[in-house]
Amino acid sequence: MNKFPFLWLLLVSAHMTVFSQISNDDVLFSVGDEPILAQEFIRVYNKNLEIVQDESQKDIDAYLNLFVNYKLKLQEAKSIGLDKKPSYLKELKGYQKQLSKKYLTESNVTEALIKEAYDRMSYEIKAQHILVRIEEYEKDTTAYYKKILNFKERFFKQGFESVKTSVHNGNTVFVEDLGYFSSFKMVYDFESAAYNTGVGEISDPFRTQYGYHVVKVLDKRKSQGEVTVGHIMISLNENDSLAKAEVRINELYKMLQQGQKFESLAQQFSEDKSSAKMGGKLKSFKTGQLASAEFEKVAFSLQNNGDISIPFKTSYGWHIVKLYNKTPLASYEQLKSDLEQQVKRDSRSKLISSAMSKKLRQNYKVPEAAVVLPNFLEFFDEEFFKNTWTLSESFEGSKQFIVIGNKQLVYSDFYNYLNNSKRGLKVRQSVTDFVTTQYENFVNSEVLKYHEENLEFVNVDFANILNEYREGLLLFDLMEDKVWNAVKSDTAALHAFYESNKKDYLNPEKVKAILVTSPKKEFIKKAKKLLIENKTVEEIKQQINTSDQNILVTTGMLSKNTNIIPEDFLMKIGLSDIYKWNKAYHIVMVTEVLPESIKTFEDAKGLVISDYQIIYEKNWMEVLSKKYKVSVNKEVLKRTKQQLNN
């Protein structure tokens, strides 16, 4: 939905009904002396429509009340000076810098690089390479180039292993097998050379920031795409009511081999709670997307839908994985947003910055070096690089150097930049070459800086987003100071609120029990008989789990808010009837019942604070509404509703 609606004429049932559209300066309401424009309300309301599911949140009057309260809080924040706090201003500046990055790129170049990255991502390349290391600032590279040419020839005639054995030293020369890779796995220049080299061919020498390379492409295969799997996970953290993780995962694996449903076991026993309720199923992922390479390796190794892995261990715990589906690489449109972020973090981002700088220099009419530098260079000679060199007294530091928009930069600005730059100089240049190079860097930096500083005044979209952050940070500071911390620190009020409402803070009924589970009723019948005979858990397991994992036994405190026992389970001491739940059979021996009880203040404290905050904030808002008069322009409100409804 467009955040900035255009003016239009509404046609209704063949009759042209023209209503007065909201203008840019129409005031919908005021809070104290601050006017709030109708266009702002319309923009925020429309944006909210994109994310809400509840129809009640689309009610214009209700949303207006929320918006008025929002503005009341902001008025209070400004009144007490929160918008002047150094910590607030520093945090806002950081967000502003982060947000501006999206608007400081050349869109055409960015689009081309994103498309190129996607095309390359569609394939994985298997390659070997030879690298002759060169320092990045080294200019005289003739000897290095001859060396890489020689290595290429030997690579071609003698083969990879022979060349590696004779020349690889891990310091100045590297001969390496790189395996498979695709977009963003290598520096951009290397990636481009590899993708532009045919299978079985060796590239011409090319230079990256590391030195000269040649690359041989051994294979090119289609991307593995995405995989959808489910898993049962037993955490490495021990739980008193469960067996050790490895023992439990192997018990579950035996039950799968005996025909128990994967999804049923995942619902009951997987300790990844977010996926357990979905029968263990995870969202689709691609190579490199998960934190566990071992998990990915197992997931992608499964070939057919329904295949189940053997138990394996990762840093998170023990897993069993089931394959549901393998899908090819997602479409360009689906991946475009993520690819854009990767492009901007990658070395290819320099191409975007260069294109943006060029465009801004043209927009701000910044002169080329040949126009500006001749007069400036009159004050410099080759002695400039020595510590003993001094600037001529005739140098006018306040003289205009260049102008960017309405910002004037003077001679001393560029001179100071040169002085700082020469300190990090690693290779000697002529003073003319040095100053010319630094002029380009200086201008590129300054035009980007100027454009960023003024972005809010030239880009409406950025201005709106920045204002959302500005107000959001301010509101957070206000709520933290006036509500959240105020409530937490008022222990007397919290205790009084708890005493008045303690019936709302209850511990659920629990039982201390032995739970036996099996996919087959016959084994539960055997377990019931052994429980009646007062056999121990170990004795029951030994007699029923002979060669197969026929039962699972869980001991400890159980409540109805788990996936193990049903909601209608009768919580009483003794041996339960056999019941079916989650496609398995169960029996429970209850030895103790803990009835529903009122939580202590300490146990309920988090909920008490949350509930009391709601009441506290409501009372505080009544105070603010009296402190700052709210005046609504009914005529503008009427037209605002017409525009939103139509």
Q: How big is the CA angle at 392 (ends 386 and 397), to the nearest 5 degrees? A: 110
Higher pLDDT, 180 or 332: 332
What is the 8-class DSSP label of residue 563?
A: S
Whole-angstrom distance, CA of residue 498 vs CA of residue 597: 15
Residue 325 pLDDT > 50, yes or no? yes
Handedness of CA 388, 394, 397, 401 (dihedral sign): negative
pLDDT at 241 > cutoff 80 = no
φ and ψ at residue 555, rounded to 5 degrees? -125, 155
What mean pLDDT comes out for the span 198-222?
94
Residue 162 neighbours by CB distance under 10 Å: 13
Is residue 205 within 8 Å of residue 218, measured between CB atoms? no
Q: CA 300, CA 223: separation in Å to the nearest integer?
A: 12
Q: Is 143 helix (H, G, I), strand (E, B) or coil?
A: helix
**Separation between Cα atoms, residue 499 and residue 497, nearest integer Å:** 5
- Report residue 454 as tokens: 């003024």
| Distance between CA atoms of residues 460 and 467, nearest Å | 10
The tokens describing 301, both together, are 């190794």
Tens of pLDDT, residue by residue over 630-646, are 999 999 999 999 988 87
Mean pLDDT of 97-124: 86
In the predicted model, is pLDDT for residue 316 greater than 60? yes
Q: What is the pLDDT, as a whole number, of residue 64?
A: 93
**Integer CA distances (angstroms), 185 to 69, 214, 340, in order:** 49, 17, 15
Q: What is the mean pLDDT of residues 88-93?
A: 93
Contacts of 593 (CB under 8 A, 6+ apart): 509, 510, 511, 512, 571, 572, 573
Order the strands of the 27-31 sheet from edge to edge.
34-37, 27-31, 630-632
Residues with Cβ < 8 Å from 390, sequence gap 6 or more? none
CATH class assigned to 226-328: alpha beta
Residue 571 reports pLDDT greater than 50:
yes
Across 190-205, average pLDDT: 95
pLDDT given for residue 16 in this prediction: 33
Cα–Cα–Cα angle for 289, 295, 297, nearest 5°? 85
Q: Please list, in sequence order, all residues whose beta carbon lies within 8 angstroms of the beta carbon of residue 118, skipping any fewer than 6 positions away.
A: 183, 332, 335, 336, 339
Is residue 77 pLDDT above 80, yes or no?
yes
User: What is 123-222's CATH number?
Assistant: 3.10.50.40
Cα end-to-end distance, the chain, whole Å: 14
Q: State the pLDDT at residue 440.
A: 93
Q: Determine the Cα–Cα distance for residues 370 and 622; give it in Å rounded to an integer.
A: 67
Rama region for 642: left / alpha / beta (φ>0; ψ in -120 to 50; rest): alpha
Structure confidence at residue 54 (pLDDT): 64
Least confident among 58-72, 82-96, 244-258, 347-361? 347-361
Reported as type and span, the H/E element at residue 515 is: strand 510-518
Closest CA relative to residue 155, chosen from 135, 132, 182, 181: 132
Q: How many CA atoms lie within 13 A of 450 on its CB side?
A: 21
Among 14-23, 279-288, 321-330, 378-387, name the one with the lowest average pLDDT. 14-23
* Cβ–Cβ < 8 Å for 624, 70: no
pLDDT grade, residue 426 (50/70/90)? low
Q: For 397-461, where are the E strands, in sequence order?
A: 400-404, 407-410
Residue 634: phi and psi, rounded to 5, are -65, -35
Which pLDDT score, from 0 to 100, does residue 24 have?
Answer: 85
Helix (H, G, I), strand (E, B) or coil at 516: strand
Bridge-partner residues for 175, per DSSP?
Answer: 130
Reference 77, options 32, 39, 29; nearest CA is 32
State the DSSP H helix or E strand holding residue 54, giving kind and residue range, or none if neither: none
In angstroms, the CA 375 to CA 384 distance is 16
Q: What is the pLDDT of residue 508?
A: 87
Amino acid 560: pLDDT: 79
The answer to whether domain 226-328 and domain 506-598 are alike in fold is yes
Q: Mind listing the pLDDT tens digit for each residue in 48-72? A: 776 666 666 678 998 999 999 999 9
How many whole angstroms separate alpha carbon 186 and alpha carbon 207? 13
The residues with which 513 forms a beta bridge, in sequence order, are 556, 590
Residue 438 is predicted with a pLDDT of 93
What pLDDT does 193 receive?
Answer: 95
Distance CA 247, CA 256 (A): 15
Domain chopping of the chain, boundaries: 1-79+631-646, 123-222, 226-328, 364-448, 506-598
Query: Does residue 100 carry a pLDDT above 70?
Result: yes
DSSP state for residue 14 in the 8-state scheme = T
Please give the distance of CA 75 from its chain centroid, rounded to a whole number. Answer: 32
Packing angle between helix 142-158 and helix 160-167, nearest 10 degrees?
140
Q: Which residues contact 142 (CB under 8 A, 6 or more apart)?
A: none
For residue 212, the one-letter residue type is Y
Question: Judging by DSSP bridges, how do beta strands 226-235 and 211-222 pair with one another?
Answer: unpaired
Cα distance between residue 292 and residue 447, in whole Å: 43
Q: How many percent of the chain have pLDDT more than 90?
A: 65
Radius of gyration of the chain, Cα coordinates, nearest whole angstrom: 35
- Per-residue pLDDT tens over the stretch 506-548: 988 899 999 999 999 999 999 999 999 999 999 999 999 988 8
> Phi, psi at residue 237, to the nearest 5°?
-70, 130
Task: Name residues whose C-beta falls within 8 Å of residue 492's C-beta, 6 or more positions apart in sequence.
Answer: none
What local confidence, expressed as pLDDT, does residue 27 receive?
95
> DSSP label at 409?
E
Q: Which of 225, 98, 50 is nearest to 58 (CA)?
A: 50
What class has domain 506-598? alpha beta
pLDDT at 4 over 50: no
pLDDT interval class at 251 (50, 70, 90): very high
* Whether the predicted pLDDT of 10 surpasses 60: no
Quickly state the pLDDT bin for 365 (edges 50, 70, 90). very high
* 459-508 confidence digits (pLDDT tens): 888 999 999 999 999 999 999 999 999 999 999 999 999 999 999 999 88
CA-CA distance, 441 to 464, in Å (whole number)? 31
**Is-contact 193 213, C-beta < 8 A?**
yes
